[in-house]
Amino acid sequence: MRINPIGAKTNYYPTTSPKAKTLTNQNRATIPNLNHLNATYNQAAINFRGTSDASRALVRQIPLEDKLASLFENFRLGDLILVGKNLHESAKQMYKNADVVKNAIKRGFFIADETIEGNIGFIKNPIGDIEVINLNEYDIPLTSNNKTYPLKPHESFYVIEDDILSINGNLLTIKNKPKVDLSMYRKNFAKAFNFEKEADQNIEKINKKTLSQLMQPARKTATPITFAQVGGLDELKNSLKKDIIYPIRYPEAYEGVELNHGFILYGPPGTGKTHIARALANEAEANFINLNGLDLESKWVGESESNWRNLFEEAKQNQPTIIFLDEFDAVARSRDSHDIYGNKVVNQILTLMTDIDNENCDVYVIAATNNFKALDSAITRSGRFGKHYEVTPPNKEGLKEIFNINTKNRKLDENINIDELVDQLAKVNATGADVRHIVNEAHKNGMVRSGIYEKMDNKTFTNKDNELFKIAQEDFDKALNDFLVDKKSSSRKPIGFMKQQAQAG
Ligand code: ADP
C-alpha cells in the first residue's frame, strides 16, 4: 500500500517493519472498528514527525475515516476529495461523474487506499454539506440513523457524522474530526492539487458571459416583434412554426425526427425577411444573432473561418438560437466567381451546419438574399440549407395588414380610404418597407399641415396639440405621390421593389 504518492517509486514501507506487517494484514472490512490499533495509532501520531520509513509506515495505519475527517476539518466549496487505489483511475471515474459537481473544482485531494475496492469522491456542496459521490458501477449502501439508502452508481448524497458507507463490503464511518489532530501530517496521506487560479479565471469568463446574456433581454424586450406584427406571409409563418418554433417548444414531439436547420429566404429587399426572422426568434424565445454578409466579409477577411466557428459555437452555447444571415450572397457567392476566400467560407459554413444537424442542436440558420441565383450551388443544393422560401411583395390583403400594423398606434382620420390606398400600392408592387415608409411620411406631412413643427419651433407646442392631431387623407395622398415620383426617379435610394427586381434578373 502506498501512502505518499509523491514518492511513489520509493519503498517507504519495508516489509521488514514488524508494525507494517501486522497492520497490512488487518481486515479493512473493520475500518471503523480499528480500536485495537488505537494505541499504536496514537503513538504514531506522536512519533511520525520527520520522514523515517517507520513513521511513514505509521501514517499508513491511520484509518481512512480519520484521514478523511482531517480533510473535512478544512473542507470548502470547490474542494474535491478522491479516494481509491490509484489517482489516475480515481480521476478517470470522477471525470465520468463530473456533472454531479455543480461548482468549479478549485482544490483536489487524493487519498490512496489499497483497501478500498473502487473509488469514491467527496465534495462540499453550496449549502455546506459534505456529499459523497459513488464513482463505481455498483451500489454503495449508506446507513444513516439505522436506515439504509442504496447510493446508486453516479449518484451523490449528503453525509453527516456517524453515517456509514459500505463500499464493496468495507465499512467507512463519516467523522467530522479525526481521533487525534492530523493537520501536520495531511501532506503525508493526501496528495493535494491547487487549481484555484485557473478556476477563478474561468469563473470570471463564465460570469461575464452570463452577465452579457442578462444584458441582452433588456435590449430585446424594448422592441419585441411577434408574428402578429408581420403582415401577410401566412404560408411562411406557418412553415416556420412547424419547422422551428414547435421543435424548440415541444422537443419531445420531435424525438427521432430529422430536423432541417438551414433556411434560405429570397426575394426583394423590404419584403420582411429580417422582420419575420426577428419575430420568429421572439416567438420561439430564442436568442437572435443578426449578421450582415457584407459587413462580415469586410470585417472578417483573413480570419473568417475561425470567426464562423466562434459564431456557431456561441450560438450552440446559447441555444435555442436563430442566426439570421442577411445579404448571404456576399459570403456564399457562386464558385464561378473564382473567389477562393469565399469558397473556403462556404465549406466552413457547410461543415458547421453539418455539425448542427448531427448534434441536433437548437440552432437554426436563416440566410436571406435578394439574389438567389448568386448563391453558391454548394449551398443551395446541399441538404444543409434544405428549405428555400421565396418572399414576395405582399398582395392587397397583405398590404392592408401591414398598413394596419404600422398605423395601430397612430391616430387616423376616419375618412381615410384605406382600400384605395392599398390598391395604389399593390399596382406598384410596394413592399412592407414601402408601406412603413409611406405611413411615416404621411405622419410627418400631417405634422407639417397641422402646424405642429411650427409650434415646436416657437415653443408653443402643447400636449393638447398632440391630442388633437390626426393623420388625414391628404397626408397619405402626398406621401404616396412622393413615393411614386421617387420610384420613377433613378437617383432615388432604393427602398422599393423595382430596382432590386432588375438586379435579381
Ligand atoms: P428585408 O429583410 O426583406 O430586406 P425588412 O424585414 O428589413 O426587409 O423590412 C424592413 C421593414 O419593413 C421592417 O422592419 C418592417 O417594419 C417593415 N416590413 C416589411 N415587411 C413587413 C411585413 N410583412 N409585415 C410588417 N412589416 C413589414
| SS3 per residue for 479-505 | HHHHHHHHHHCCCCCCCCCHHHHHHHC
270 plus 334 within the same structural domain: yes
Query: Does any domain span residue 50?
Result: no
Decide whether any atom of ligand 1 lies within 6 Å of the 321 Cβ. no
Residue 123 is predicted with a pLDDT of 96
Kindly give the pairing relationship between strand 140-144 and strand 130-134. unpaired
* Nearest protein CA to atom 6 of ligand 1, as residue: 272
Looking at 375, 390, 405, the residue that finishes a domain is: 390
d(CA 359, CA 46): 59
Strand order across the 120-124 sheet: 156-159, 130-134, 120-124, 79-84, 107-112, 191-194
Decide whether any atom of ligand 1 lies within 6 Å of the 60 Cβ. no
335 plus 303 within the same structural domain: yes
Query: Does any domain span residue 290?
Result: yes
CB atoms near residue 495 (< 10 Å): 18
412 plus 383 within the same structural domain: no
Residue 411 is predicted with a pLDDT of 92
Residue 300 is predicted with a pLDDT of 64
Decide whether any atom of ligand 1 lies within 6 Å of the 370 Cβ. no
Residue 211 is predicted with a pLDDT of 63
Distance 487 CA to ligand 1 centre (A): 18
Distance 480 CA to ligand 1 centre (A): 18
Under 8 Å CB-to-CB from 495, ≥6 apart: which residues? 269, 270, 431, 433, 434, 437
> From the alpha carbon of 326, which atom of ligand 1 is closest?
2
CA 15 to chain centre: 56
Torsion (CA) 192, 195, 196, 200 in degrees, nearest 10: -160
**What is the reported pTM?**
0.57
159 plus 259 within the same structural domain: no
Decide whether any atom of ligand 1 lies within 6 Å of the 399 Cβ. no
Q: What are phi and psi of 167, to 5 degrees?
A: -100, 105
232 plus 375 within the same structural domain: yes
Distance 373 CA to ligand 1 centre (A): 22
C-alpha cell at 384: 444543409
Residue 210 is predicted with a pLDDT of 66
Distance 403 CA to ligand 1 centre (A): 12
The DSSP letter of residue 412 is B
383 plus 305 within the same structural domain: yes
What CATH number has the domain bearing residue 456? 1.10.8.60
Decide whether any atom of ligand 1 lies within 6 Å of the 232 Cβ. yes
Query: Does any domain span residue 231?
Result: yes
CB atoms near residue 131 (< 10 Å): 16
Distance 306 CA to ligand 1 centre (A): 31
Decide whether any atom of ligand 1 lies within 6 Å of the 69 Cβ. no
Distance 432 CA to ligand 1 centre (A): 5
Listed residue (447, 405, 431, 403) closest to 487, CA to CA: 431
Query: Does any domain span residue 106?
Result: yes
C-alpha cell at 259: 430536423
Residue 344 is predicted with a pLDDT of 76
Beta strands, E only, 327-425: 363-369, 387-390
What residue numbers bound the domain in which 420 lies?
A: 396-489
256 plus 352 within the same structural domain: yes
Decide whether any atom of ligand 1 lies within 6 Å of the 393 Cβ. no
236 plus 156 within the same structural domain: no
Query: Does any domain span residue 176?
Result: yes
Decide whether any atom of ligand 1 lies within 6 Å of the 333 Cβ. no
d(CA 170, CA 129): 23
Decide whether any atom of ligand 1 lies within 6 Å of the 268 Cβ. no
Decide whether any atom of ligand 1 lies within 6 Å of the 436 Cβ. yes
Listed residue (158, 130, 161, 133) closest to 145, CA to CA: 161
192 plus 257 within the same structural domain: no
Looking at 345, 371, 390, the residue that finishes a domain is: 390
Decide whether any atom of ligand 1 lies within 6 Å of the 278 Cβ. no
> From the alpha carbon of 232, which atom of ligand 1 is closest?
23
d(CA 404, CA 458): 33
Kindly give the pairing relationship between strand 164-167 and strand 262-266. unpaired
d(CA 484, CA 434): 11
The DSSP letter of residue 440 is H
Looking at 356, 390, 424, the residue that finishes a domain is: 390
CB burial class (10 A; 0-12, 13-18, 19+) of residue 205?
A: exposed
Q: What are phi and psi of 406, to 5 degrees?
A: -80, -15
Amino acid sitting at position 331? V
379 plus 443 within the same structural domain: no
Decide whether any atom of ligand 1 lies within 6 Å of the 231 Cβ. yes
For ligand 1, mutation pick of 234, 275, 329, 401 (most atoms within 8 Å of CB): 275
Distance 357 CA to ligand 1 centre (A): 29
Beta strands, E only, 345-450: 363-369, 387-390
Distance 434 CA to ligand 1 centre (A): 9
- State which residues of the chain have pLDDT below 50: 1-50, 217-222, 339-341, 490-505
Contact 77, 126 (CB under 8 A): yes
> From the alpha carbon of 265, which atom of ligand 1 is closest?
3
Domains in the chain: how many in total?
Answer: 3
Residue 59 is predicted with a pLDDT of 80
The DSSP letter of residue 34 is G
Distance 431 CA to ligand 1 centre (A): 8
Residue that has been written with the C-alpha cell 478544512 in this structure: 74
Residue that has been written with the C-alpha cell 485531494 in this structure: 109
* Nearest protein CA to atom 25 of ligand 1, as residue: 230
How does pLDDT run across 334-393, given as a tens digit for each residue?
655 554 445 777 888 899 999 999 998 999 999 999 989 888 888 888 789 989 999 999
> What angle do helix axes 473-488 and 432-449 make, rounded to 10 degrees?
130
377 plus 409 within the same structural domain: no
* Nearest protein CA to atom 13 of ligand 1, as residue: 275
467 plus 357 within the same structural domain: no
Residue 277 is predicted with a pLDDT of 93
Contact 175, 66 (CB under 8 A): yes
* Nearest protein CA to atom 11 of ligand 1, as residue: 433
How does pLDDT run across 127-148, given as a tens digit for each residue?
889 999 999 999 999 999 889 9
* Nearest protein CA to atom 27 of ligand 1, as residue: 432
Listed residue (112, 6, 104, 13) closest to 57, CA to CA: 13
Under 8 Å CB-to-CB from 248, ≥6 apart: which residues? 284, 285, 286, 320, 362
Decide whether any atom of ligand 1 lies within 6 Å of the 369 Cβ. no
Distance 469 CA to ligand 1 centre (A): 27
CB atoms near residue 266 (< 10 Å): 23
Query: Does any domain span residue 48?
Result: no
Query: Does any domain span residue 46?
Result: no
CB burial class (10 A; 0-12, 13-18, 19+) of residue 382?
A: middle
Residue 245 is predicted with a pLDDT of 95
Query: Does any domain span residue 272?
Result: yes
Residue 32 is predicted with a pLDDT of 35
